[in-house]
Amino acid sequence: MNRQEKNEANLLGESLETLLSKKSGQIAFREFLKSEFCEENLDFWLACQEFKTFDSPDELTQRAACIYEEFIRAESPKQVNLDFCTREIISQSLQQPSPSCFAVAQKKIYSLMENGSFPRFNQSEQYKVLFDAALKQRGHGKHRKALRIKSAGDIIQHDSKPVGLRSDLCLWDKN
């Protein structure tokens, strides 16, 4: 990948939140995590996202038990990397789980992904494939290029006119 492609790819992968908000991003990131033998982190995070949508006490109790058995319990098939204290708090909340009973654990796993796997993903082949697919989907041909954004909403001025600004991609016409 050349320097310009890297800059463009970095724009697309500006945050883990943005990546996970798109189904294609979730799929590509999960494939990458699989190659690092830690896809359970994303699976747990997604299970927690879904768990927060339940409001029936029966649904919460049943789903909480499933999440605990699959991701939290020692020796579980997809055990995520959590400290003993966090595991104990979750274990104690299983009697009467609330939609937020996994919030601390979910935040810790998100932080692991954001600070560990996500930066490596941005340098991976899976990211390049996702980036290329996103460009094709948006119909951007070779006559356009992406430029860096200093911070949210700040554009680095270039010798060309702006043709559009998106939070995930800033496009400029070369002409």
Q: What is the pLDDT of residues 56-101, one digit of tens each?
A: 999 999 999 999 999 999 999 999 999 999 999 999 999 899 999 9
**97: exposed, middle or buried (Cβ count in 10 Å: 0-12, 13-18, 19+):** buried
Question: What type of residue is 116?
Answer: G
Q: Which residue has the higher pLDDT, 167 or 125?
A: 125
The answer, yes or no, to whether residue 104 has pLDDT greater than 90, is: yes
The answer, yes or no, to whether residue 174 has pLDDT greater than 50, is: no
Which residues fall within 8 angstroms of residue 50, CB to CB, at 6 or more apart? 63
The count of other CB atoms within 10 Å of the CB of residue 22 is 14
The DSSP symbol for 124 reads S
Best CA proximity match to 48, nearest among 15, 82, 71, 78? 71
Q: What is the mean pLDDT of residues 163-167?
A: 32
pLDDT recorded at residue 142: 44
pLDDT recorded at residue 67: 97
pLDDT recorded at residue 147: 34
Confidence of residue 10 (pLDDT cuts 50, 70, 90): very low
Round to the nearest angstrom and report the end-to-end CA distance of the chain. 24
> Are residues 153 and 16 in contact, defined by beta-carbon separation less than 8 angstroms?
no
Distances (CA, A) of 25 to 37, 47, 106: 18, 16, 19
